Amino acid sequence: MRLCFLVEEHYRHDGMPVEVIRRLTSWGHRVDVLRPGGSLLHMTEVVQAGTHDAWVLKTVSGGPGLTLLEAAASAGMTTVNDARAIRGVRDKALAAAIGRSRGLPLPPTYAAARPELLAEIPASQYPLVVKPADGSSGRAVYLVPSPDGLAAMVPELAGEGMLIAQPYVTNSGIDVKVYCVGGELYATERRSPLHPDRSVPERRVPLSAEVAAIAARVGAVYGLDLYGVDVVLGPDGPVVVDVNDFPSFRQVPDAAARVARAVLGLARTGGSSRTAVLHSARPHPVQLPAQAPVQVPAAAGEST
């Protein structure tokens, strides 16, 4: 197969997707790499129907790669993930509206083009979590305890563009990150960016049925195949606080091979498998020190 990976400079040496590209190449597939942020793009020629079996996006939020992926989709080419689905989660204000309307457990969300407009949020909603609507990798995420605290932060927030604000969900300071790849769910826990004082190394953990059902539902709601979901365990149950297309897949065993197989599968079928994800995505067994070894299901052939 012939694939095109769109990779921003930020991820040029990152294991995800570099190792995925190496794995695909070793299996005999041709992989072309475009760097949208470091190249002059001849938009009327670079995207031509039939040149690739699929286009894959691994870029920073707000980068030019998504525009190029959308151009490929408009020319009828298969994209991983679906270009419209990526747009739907990279705009966190839009993602919140979509998710709440479809019944996902997301916090109430406010959006403002200028930080001073957030002053209109009722004091009863504090403390607030404020972050850029196009943010990623924990950039510029703030816990604002009071309206006075918000006023003091306006200068810091002024250059961040569209902002969202959500009431803080009381939790232990540990986020649960769920990765979905190839219809399998893998869970890790890690320190929340809002609680930098907590020393918690990221590690794989068992995934409860409740969180697994929410994570699978996220893929169906947004139309994603390869994705990550950040969940906090609040007093009223799990709450989705972020959704990422094509995340790092840290702690997923043999992640490069699993992602590579998923990309090939989507390229062959010509699109999303999200309907199957909703009904069949399942927690992957976790082998913890106190547990007996768990047999991992055999993977599909790598060379096809």
Q: So what's the pLDDT on residue 289?
A: 35
Alpha-carbon gap, residue 180 to 246, rounded angstroms: 9
**Helix, strand, coil percent content, the chain, rounded in steps of 5:** 35, 25, 40
Q: So what's the pLDDT on residue 191?
A: 86
Q: So what's the pLDDT on residue 99?
A: 97
Q: Count CA atoms closer than 13 A to 194's CA, side-chain side.
A: 20
| Predicted confidence pLDDT, tens digits, the chain (304 residues) | 999 999 987 788 888 899 999 999 999 999 999 988 888 888 777 777 678 999 999 887 777 889 999 999 998 899 999 999 999 999 999 999 999 999 999 999 999 999 999 999 999 999 999 999 987 766 788 999 999 999 888 888 888 899 999 999 999 889 999 999 999 999 999 888 887 666 677 899 999 999 999 999 999 999 999 999 999 999 999 999 999 999 999 889 999 999 999 999 999 998 766 544 444 456 665 543 333 222 233 333 344 4
Alpha-carbon gap, residue 28 to 26, rounded angstroms: 5
Rounded CA Rg of the chain: 20
**Torsional sign, CA 155, 159, 160, 162:** positive
Please give the backbone phi and psi of residue 55, each rounded to the nearest 5 degrees, phi first: -110, 135
The pTM is what? 0.86
